[in-house]
Amino acid sequence: RLARWQGDVAAAGEELQALSGVDRLVLVGLRLGAALAATGSAGLPVERLVLWDPVTSGRSLVDRWQGLHRNLIGDERFFPRPRQDGSDGLLGCAFSLPLRQDLAKLDLATLDPWPSRRISVVASSPGAEAAALVEALRARQLFADLVLPSTPGTWDNLVTMEKAFVP
């Protein structure tokens, strides 16, 4: 469940503080991990959040994954034995209905309060989603910046993955 993952973020932050003795933390999260860093670190002394290609809408993520799953389920290169039992498999992993429902409620645009006043949003490719998040954060008087790396790319480009891994 999502609450468990968020609790894991908080526990990791507390453990890092205990082991290192630092007073403030900088959290870096990628994709869904970015959303978990933002939503799971509320009680931690977070100096800065770095959200790299953050999932800003859990509903959009679940919809995209379900669409990819439907498109790939019949492709034996990805799913050699498609599930016949109607279980909660999604892209080869177990995703229960409660977890999907939790993820669908995740929305960084409405998160309040944010665990840090300083947030960097890294966007591997220019796009409206990251820019909209930065604007929403700035509207809340948070110090948010948008970082665009010099070499664009994406994390979940299945065409690139197919070219790289399928002969």
Q: Exposed, middle or buried by CB within 10 Å (0-12, 13-18, 19+), for 47?
A: middle
Of the pLDDT bands very low, low, confident and very high (cuts 50, 70, 90), residue 159 is very low
Bridge pairing between strands 118-122 and 143-147 = parallel
- Which amino acid is located at 22 in the chain? V
Average pLDDT, stretch 100-116? 90
Cβ(118)–Cβ(17) under 8 Å? Answer: no
Average pLDDT, stretch 78-105? 72
**Is the pLDDT confidence value at 87 over 90?**
no
**Is the pLDDT confidence value at 35 over 80?**
yes
User: What's residue 126's pLDDT?
Assistant: 76
Report residue 9: phi and psi, to 5°: -60, -45
Average pLDDT, stretch 39-50? 93
Of the pLDDT bands very low, low, confident and very high (cuts 50, 70, 90), residue 144 is very high
Cα-trace Rg, the chain: 18
What does the alpha-carbon distance between residue 26 and residue 37 come to, in Å, rounded to a whole number? 10
Q: Which residue has the higher pLDDT, 31 or 82?
A: 31
pLDDT tens for each residue of 59-71: 998 888 888 877 7
Report residue 122: phi and psi, to 5°: -95, 125
Average pLDDT, stretch 139-161? 71
